[in-house]
Amino acid sequence: MKHFILMADVISSGQKDQNQLMIDFKALIFSVNESYKDKIISPLTITLGDEFQGVLKDLKTSLEIILALEESIICKKFNFKLRYILNQGEIDTPINNETAYEMLGSGLTEARFKLNDLKTGKFRFEVLIDNKLQNDILNNAFKIFDEITKKWNVESDYEIVSNFIKFKDYKIVAETMKKTRSQIWKREKTLNMESYNAIKKIILLIIEK
């Protein structure tokens, strides 16, 4: 039986403050595991310090978790980005429901190989699932997602982006941040929030097909 295996690692982890990185990385993984515990088969587990792996219930859960991780990093102003592989593959040994350790199978081997391979490329996301149409759409959608989000800066953008994620309406964001509506409207355009919300919606709509 094939499972949805999610692996990710921290980009350029060696250039970060190691102690702070581990505190933030552990907090991120813990919060997502708690939020999605009913939809995770084997929880996201930090394996090599700056990497994690987990086995998820289905494609819907997998995509929701990737987006949740991305938005949690922004909302908590964590100073790192993740690189992801979502692979639909075989796990030959019994699933470990407590932690994503002590499991073997071609799906895990493929995911590990692809994650390492991704480190030499220019994209942060790769999806490898059996449905070819969904696979192609998701990989292209995540390229657009990455093009938008990679332009956001931790110090200058994450606070306002997190407010847009939470409140959507620029008028509410302006009130929350005690800025003029004009200022926030302009920032909404320069941050490309409309395109961000559109591509996020496309990614989640693919699940319905």
pLDDT in tens, 54-104: 999 999 999 999 999 999 999 999 999 999 999 999 999 988 888 887 788
| Domain hosting residue 128, numbered range | 2-132
Cα four-point dihedral sign 145, 5, 36, 135:
positive
Segment 144-166, tens digit of pLDDT? 999 999 999 999 999 999 999 99
2-10, strands of its sheet edge to edge: 40-46, 51-56, 2-10, 82-90, 125-128
| Domain count of the fold of the chain | 1
**Is residue 21 domain-resident?**
yes
Q: Which of 121, 127, 152 lies closest to 203, judged by CA?
A: 127
Residue 21 to residue 50: CA distance in whole angstroms:
8
**Is residue 102 domain-resident?**
yes
